[in-house]
C-alpha cells in the first residue's frame, strides 16, 4: 500500500505518557493488520502532549511488537545528536529486526538556529489552489523560533559549547558509518540494512542534500503546507542516481481524521486548532484536548490566523472524502507514497480513522 503512518505518541487530556506509549504500540500492531507500509515516529522535546522524545527507543519497542511493517523515524534531529550516536542506536534496532528499519533524518535544530539568527521578514505569497490542492500563505516560523523559552530549551539539548557541523557533512558521516568507509567503526550500525531518508519542509538544504546523495525524501505538507511543492521540486531537480535509488522517491505527509460521517469526523478533529495554537505560541504541544474542552476555548481573530494554514489543510471527513483529497495531494505533488498523521483524543477513534482510511484507499 502507498499509505504509511507518522505517529507523535500524543498524550491525551487526562492521560499520561505511559497511556500514549501503550496506544502507540497498539496502533502499530493495528496498522500492520490494516496493511500500512511503514510506521514512523517523530522526535519532539519539551512538549507536554507528546511522548515521542526518543525515537530509537520507541522504534525498538514497536519493532518488537510487530512482525512485518517497516518502522522508522520521522525524523531524528541531527542538530541534537552526533551521526555516530544515531547510527549506533538505529543499528542496534536493525540488528534485532533486520531489513525493517528506516532512519529518517531532519535538521530542525539547525533550521531553528538559522531562523533565529536571521530574523528577516518572511515573504507571504497569496494563498492559491494548484490543481485542486490548497497551498496556503506561509507561516512565519521566525516568530516562533525567537521565543525566549525556546531559546532556553535549545541550550538543554546540547552540551555547553557544543557546535553542530553542517547538515551535509553530518549526512555524509552517517552514510560512511553505515557503509564502513568511515575511519572509525560504528558497532552496531556498520553494514546495517537501514534505509536513510531526509525529511524537509522547504526547498532548502534538506531537499538539496537528499537529491544530491540519491536518497529518498519526505516533504511535510502537514507541517508546512505552503512550501511542499517547492520542496519536492527542489529535491527532484537536485537528484542524482545512487546505489540506493535510480530515480527520485518522494513521500508527502498529511494530517487526516476519518469517521463514518462528516459531522463526527469534524467533531473528532475539533481540538486540532487548539493543539496547533499551543505549539505556535511557544508553549509546546499541549495534551490533546477533548472536543468539549476545545469548544470551551474563546478564540481571538489573531489566534485563528495563527493556525489557519494548518486547520485548512487538515483532511477531515468520511473515508471517501479524505481518500479523494489525499489522491489530489498525491497527484499534485507527484508523491510515490503518503505519510498520514492522525490525532484524536480517544485512542479507539484514532485506530478506527486509520482503519476506515485504509479500506477506502484500497478500494481503488
- pLDDT the model gives residue 154: 75
The DSSP secondary structure of 278-330, one letter per residue, reads HHHTTS-PPPBPPHHHHHT----HHHHHHHHHHHHTSEEE-HHHHHHHHHHHH
- pLDDT the model gives residue 160: 83
CA distances for 198 relative to 9, 201, 231, 232, angstroms: 21, 10, 12, 12
- pLDDT the model gives residue 117: 45
- pLDDT the model gives residue 145: 57
- pLDDT the model gives residue 157: 85
> Dihedral sign, CA of 14, 66, 254, 143?
positive
What domains, with CATH codes, occur in the chain?
3-362 (3.20.20.30)
Walk along the chain (364 residues) in steps of 10 and give the mean pLDDT of each run.
97 98 98 98 95 97 98 94 96 97 85 46 76 94 67 79 90 97 97 96 96 98 96 98 96 98 98 96 94 98 96 98 98 98 98 98 88
Gap between the Cα atoms of 111 and 69, Å rounded: 31
- pLDDT the model gives residue 141: 76
Phi-psi region of 55 (alpha: psi -120 to 50; beta: other; left: phi over 0): alpha
Residue 357: strand pairing partners: none
DSSP annotation of 68 reads S
SS3 40: strand
Could you give the dihedral angle defined by the CA atoms of residues 154, 157, 162 and 164, in that order, rounded to the nearest 10 degrees?
A: -80
276 Cβ partners below 8 Å, 6+ apart?
306, 307, 310, 311
Residue 129, exposed/middle/buried by CB under 10 A (0-12, 13-18, 19+)? exposed
- pLDDT the model gives residue 297: 97
Gap between the Cα atoms of 159 and 329, Å rounded: 41
Contact 2, 40 (CB under 8 A): no
Query: Could you tell me which of 273, 283, 284 has the C-alpha nearest to residue 306?
Result: 273
245 Cβ partners below 8 Å, 6+ apart?
214, 215, 216, 239
In degrees and rounded to multiples of 5, residue 195 shows phi and psi of -95, 120
- pLDDT the model gives residue 114: 47
- pLDDT the model gives residue 115: 45
pTM: 0.94
Instruction: Render the burial of 57-72: b for 16+ CB within 10 Å, e for the rest.
Output: ebbbbbbeebeebbbb
Nine cell digits for residue 121: 521578514
Could you give the dihedral angle defined by the CA atoms of residues 252, 101, 8 and 24, in that order, rounded to the nearest 10 degrees?
A: 130
Amino acid at each position: 500500500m502507498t499509505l504509511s503512518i507518522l505517529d507523535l505518541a500524543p498524550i491525551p487530556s487526562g492521560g499520561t505518557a505511559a497511556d500514549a506509549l501503550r496506544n502507540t504500540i497498539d496502533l502499530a500492531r493495528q496498522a500492520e493488520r490494516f496493511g500500512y507500509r511503514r510506521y514512523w515516529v517523530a522526535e519532539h522535546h519539551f512538549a507536554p502532549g507528546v511522548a515521542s522524545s526518543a525515537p530509537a527507543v520507541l522504534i525498538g519497542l514497536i519493532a518488537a511488537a510487530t512482525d512485518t511493517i517497516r518502522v522508522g523515524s520521522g525524523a531524528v534531529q541531527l542538530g541534537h545528536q552526533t551521526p555516530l550516536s544515531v547510527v549506533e542506536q538505529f543499528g542496534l534496532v536493525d540488528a534485532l529486526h533486520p531489513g525493517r528499519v528506516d532512519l529518517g533524518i531532519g535538521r530542525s535544530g539547525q533550521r531553528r538556529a538559522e531562523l533565529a539568527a536571521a530574523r528577516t521578514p518572511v515573504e507571504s505569497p497569496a494563498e492559491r489552489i494548484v490543481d485542486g490542492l490548497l497551498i496556503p500563505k506561509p507561516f512565519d516560523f521566525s516568530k516562533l523560533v525567537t521565543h525566549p523559552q525556546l531559546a532556553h530549551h535549545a541550550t538543554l539539548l546540547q552540551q555547553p559549547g557544543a557546535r553542530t557541523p553542517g547538515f551535509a557533512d553530518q549526512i555524509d558521516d552517517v552514510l560512511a558509518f553505515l557503509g564502513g568507509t568511515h575511519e572509525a567503526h560504528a558497532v552496531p550500525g556498520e553494514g546495517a540494512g537501514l534505509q536513510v531518508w531526509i525529511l524537509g519542509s522547504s526547498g532548502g538544504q534538506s531537499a538539496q542534500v537528499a537529491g544530491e546523495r540519491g536518497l529518498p525524501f519526505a516533504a511535510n505538507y502537514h507541517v508546512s503546507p505552503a512550501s511542499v511543492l517547492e520542496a519536492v521540486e527542489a529535491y527532484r531537480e537536485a537528484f542524482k542516481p545512487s546505489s540506493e535509488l535510480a530515480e527520485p522517491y518522494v513521500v508527502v505527509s498529511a494530517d487526516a481524521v476519518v469517521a463514518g460521517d462528516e459531522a463526527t469526523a469534524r467533531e473528532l478533529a475539533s481540538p486540532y486548532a487548539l493543539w496547533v495554537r499551543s505549539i505556535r505560541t511557544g508553549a509546546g504541544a499541549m495534551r490533546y484536548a477533548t472536543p468539549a474542552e476545545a469548544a470551551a476555548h474563546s478564540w481571538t481573530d489573531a489566534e485563528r490566523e495563527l493556525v489557519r494554514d494548518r486547520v485548512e489543510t487538515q483532511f477531515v471527513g468520511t473515508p471517501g472524502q479524505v481518500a479523494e483529497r489525499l489522491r489530489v495531494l498525491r497527484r499534485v505533488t507527484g508523491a510515490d507514497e503518503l505519510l498520514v498523521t492522525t490525532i484524536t483524543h480517544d485512542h479507539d477513534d484514532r485506530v478506527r480513522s486509520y482503519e476506515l482510511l485504509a479500506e477506502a484507499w484500497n478500494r481503488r
